[in-house]
Amino acid sequence: MNFYHSSLWRRMAVCLLSAFLPVLLAAGSPQLTGVSNFQKVSQTVYRGAQPAELGFDSLAKLGIKTVVDLRLIGEHSQAEEQRLVEARGMRYVSVPMKGMSTPTDEQVAKVLALFDDATAVPVFVHCQRGADRTGAVIACYRIGHDRWDNKKALSEARSYGMSWYQRALQKYVIQYQPPQKAAAAASGTGTLPATLPATQGDPALQAPSVR
């Protein structure tokens, strides 16, 4: 087989793997009724797509205290979601992010602060598909909390369906620096403050693609 054909087969194999990876992940991952693209990120952080009404029941039974909604005003009825969430004894927090552009550091910091708030956890975060905006936020959590490198965090986001055309979100993840690291770099020390808590997460990958 000449170089051209060998290269062609390699490209085809990569394309096939990319197409079927979400299906393979879903087959071996825990699911939650009414919530697609569901993942247990850690003992206190969960992610997924927009829950169906039954999904909010499932989240409440799971022990979720706070539901973080990343969808924009106008994408869906936030008032209705707030009603569904609060009727089940959970707290509703809206942090609207645009689906096709870079989130602000303030938006990301607001969500990550909830992940570290003992009064808010366990937290479930979602957008529409639970893949793009949600994927970016969870990637930043992996980088700051779990000390993952940026490429590994982005790779996990892609495995949960972050779209190839989400260039702004992918660039944000690759360039993201946790506040501690950014402060150390700005001060010229290059040294992080006290060690961050080790992850209690279950990094096993799960479900198919959804935004």
pLDDT at residue 52 in the model: 98
Cα–Cα nearest to 139, from 47, 65, 206: 47
- What 3-state DSSP class applies to 32? strand
pTM over 0.95: no
Burial class (CB in 10 A: 0-12, 13-18, 19+), 111: buried
- E-strand ranges in 65-189 read 66-69, 91-94, 123-126
Is it the case that residue 208 has pLDDT exceeding 60? no
Strand pairing partners for 45? 123
d(CA 198, CA 184): 20
53 Cβ contact partners less than 8 Å away, ≥ 6 residues apart: 34, 84
Cα–Cα nearest to 71, from 111, 98, 40: 98
For the chain, what is the mean pLDDT? 83
Do 97 and 127 contact (CB within 8 A), yes or no?
yes
**Which domains does the chain possess?**
26-181 (3.90.190.10)
| pLDDT tens digit sequence for 86-138 | 999 999 999 999 988 999 999 999 999 999 999 999 999 999 999 999 999 99
| Torsion on CA atoms 11, 36, 95, 143, rounded to nearest 10 | -50
d(CA 66, CA 123): 5
